[in-house]
């Protein structure tokens, strides 16, 4: 018995602070904190009760920060962790990881200081993060010759280009460039969602349920991702009218069709699974709304956009952050009632944000959706946040 006790003591974690042990830890914490603070800040800014600087237009600031701040942090945390698993090589940990986080934080602070410091300085600070992230992730992918993942690095480079376009618009006074940059950023994040989601959602569902009818259709995966990439090009060229409607419609059908055999019905008993399927469902819904907005005056681009952002990105981000955080910190892959409630709240926030404007309740919908969104990510911070600071209970790295 005494030998067993000694063995457990030797295996127990000796450090109390593990925030920079893996990329998901600090970046998921930063993203959740930003989600809790950033959306209420935008609501106050809309009412004129908070200044967000004058480097970017207020509405552009909101879009820019949700794409290149919030979403980029989640992408960073996920890829830094996943690339290490894909290649068996470490990406960035310890001081290097802390430095990446500092660069991300500096970008958020700089974006709020518009008018107080030079616009070129703001742009330089804010644009530093994505290239450094691409370098940290791309280095191990190239060294391991993981050709399957070269496209991920290319998407990070394109995302940087969209962010650079936003700042170029601010520096030159071009409203078109300012608004186009975040729009392209959303498109590119959705492409990343289609790529990563197609890999992990059916796999997680199959592994958890043991269902043998779960599969992917490679040709339909390629068609879905290809049509989403084509949508990026159409937006980049500022093409509107029926060409946009047709491509968005095809993207909706293919995105829905590829998920037909992903086992959504098997996921219902487990919140960590159904949240991913529901989040993914907002992708074809968002594409369909983009197509419908071309021909229906009752819909607008903003409604479709928020189906993709608040709906697909927001829901999938919360679900993936919870799953990765629990699994990689050595906790059971089970969502308690609090996390299940957080998932329901983020879905409700998206539905309110999308349906409310259709019912001519635009302002109320924004306020209610902001409250629901903030509660959802606040629950994640309270429930999961502390485990991101502490080492795994089993003493393993991660």
Tokens 């409607």 sit on residue: 245
- 2 pLDDT band (50/70/90 cuts)? very low
Distance of CA 73 to the CA centre of its chain: 8
pLDDT at 261 over 80: yes
CA 135, CA 328: separation in Å to the nearest integer?
A: 23
Measured between alpha carbons, how far is 113 from 134 in angstroms, rounded to an integer? 26
User: Stretch 293-303: mean pLDDT, rounded?
Assistant: 84
Q: Which two structure tokens, joined as six digits, stand for 278?
A: 């529901």
Determine the Cα–Cα distance for residues 250 and 220; give it in Å rounded to an integer: 11
Does the pLDDT value for residue 6 go beyond 70?
Answer: no
| Per-residue pLDDT tens digits for 144-184 | 998 999 999 999 999 999 999 999 999 999 999 999 999 99
Distance CA 323, CA 277 (A): 13
To the nearest 10°, the Cα dihedral for 209, 212, 214, 216?
A: 140
- The per-residue pLDDT for 362 is 83
Q: Give the CA distances from residue 112 to residues 58, 89, 166, in Å, rounded to whole numbers and listed in that order.
A: 11, 36, 15
Q: Which two tokens stand for residue 14?
A: 């000796």
* Diameter of the chain measured on Cα atoms: 76
Other Cβ atoms closer than 10 A to 47: 10
Find out whether 20 and 26 touch, Cβ atoms under 8 Å.
Answer: yes
What is the rounded CA–CA span in Å between residue 231 and residue 313?
A: 17
Instruction: Give the predicted TM-score (pTM) of the model.
Output: 0.92
Q: pLDDT by residue (tens digit) across 310-353?
A: 999 999 999 999 999 999 998 988 999 999 999 999 999 999 99
Residue (of 327, 335, 336, 338) closest to 393 by Cα position:
327
The Cα 259–Cα 356 span in angstroms is 27
CB atoms within 10 A of CB 199: 14
More confident residue, 212 or 284: 284
What does the alpha-carbon distance between residue 254 and residue 246 come to, in Å, rounded to a whole number? 12
d(CA 314, CA 319): 9
Q: Which helix (H) or strand (E) holds 379?
A: helix 362-383
Query: Are 278 and 254 a contacting pair, CB within 8 Å?
Result: no
Residue 112 has pLDDT above 70, yes or no: yes
User: What pLDDT, on the 0 to 100 scale, is given for residue 229?
Assistant: 97
Average pLDDT value for the chain: 92
SS3 117: strand
The answer to whether 373 and 314 have CB atoms below 8 angstroms apart is yes
Taking CA atoms, 223 is separated from 154, 194, 257, 258, 264, in Å, by 19, 11, 10, 9, 21
Please compute Rg for the chain using Cα positions.
21
pLDDT confidence bin for 392, thresholds 50/70/90: confident
The winner for highest mean pLDDT among 10-19, 218-227, 329-338 is 218-227
């Amino acid at each position: 018995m005494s030998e067993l006790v000694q063995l457990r003591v030797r295996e127990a974690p000796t450090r109390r602070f593990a925030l920079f042990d893996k990329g998901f830890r600090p970046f998921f914490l930063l993203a959740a904190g930003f989600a809790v603070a950033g959306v209420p800040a935008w609501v106050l800014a809309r009412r004129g009760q908070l200044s967000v600087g004058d480097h970017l237009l207020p509405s552009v600031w909101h879009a820019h920060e949700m794409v290149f701040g919030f979403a980029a942090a989640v992408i960073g945390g996920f890829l830094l962790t996943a690339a290490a698993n894909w290649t068996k090589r470490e990406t960035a940990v310890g001081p290097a990881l802390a430095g990446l986080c500092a660069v991300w934080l500096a970008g958020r602070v700089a974006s709020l200081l518009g008018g107080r410091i030079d616009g070129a300085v703001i742009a330089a600070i804010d644009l530093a993060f994505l290239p450094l992230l691409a370098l940290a992730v791309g280095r191990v992918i190239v060294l391991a010759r993981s050709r399957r993942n070269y496209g991920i690095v290319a998407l990070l480079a394109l995302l940087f280009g969209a962010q650079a376009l936003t700042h170029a618009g601010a520096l030159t006074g071009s409203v078109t460039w300012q608004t186009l940059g975040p729009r392209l950023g959303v498109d590119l994040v959705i492409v990343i969602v289609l790529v990563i989601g197609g890999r992990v959602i059916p796999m997680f569902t199959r592994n958890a349920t043991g269902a043998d009818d779960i599969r992917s259709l490679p040709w339909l995966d390629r068609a879905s991702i290809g049509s989403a990439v084509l949508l990026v090009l159409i937006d980049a060229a500022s093409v509107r009218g029926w060409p946009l409607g047709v491509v968005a419609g095809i993207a909706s059908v293919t995105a829905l069709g590829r998920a037909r055999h992903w086992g959504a019905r098997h996921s219902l008993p487990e919140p960590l699974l159904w949240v991913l399927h529901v989040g993914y469902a907002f992708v074809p819904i968002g594409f369909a709304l983009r197509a419908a907005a071309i021909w229906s005056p009752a819909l607008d681009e903003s409604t479709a956009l928020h189906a993709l952002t608040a709906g697909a990105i927001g829901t999938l981000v919360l679900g993936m952050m919870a799953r990765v955080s629990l699994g990689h910190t050595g906790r059971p892959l089970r969502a308690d009632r609090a996390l299940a409630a957080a998932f329901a709240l983020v879905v409700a926030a998206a539905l309110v944000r999308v349906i409310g404007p259709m019912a001519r309740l635009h302002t109320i919908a924004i306020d209610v959706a902001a409250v629901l969104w903030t509660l959802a990510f606040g629950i994640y911070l309270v429930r999961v946040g502390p485990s991101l600071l502490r080492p795994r209970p089993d003493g393993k790295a991660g």
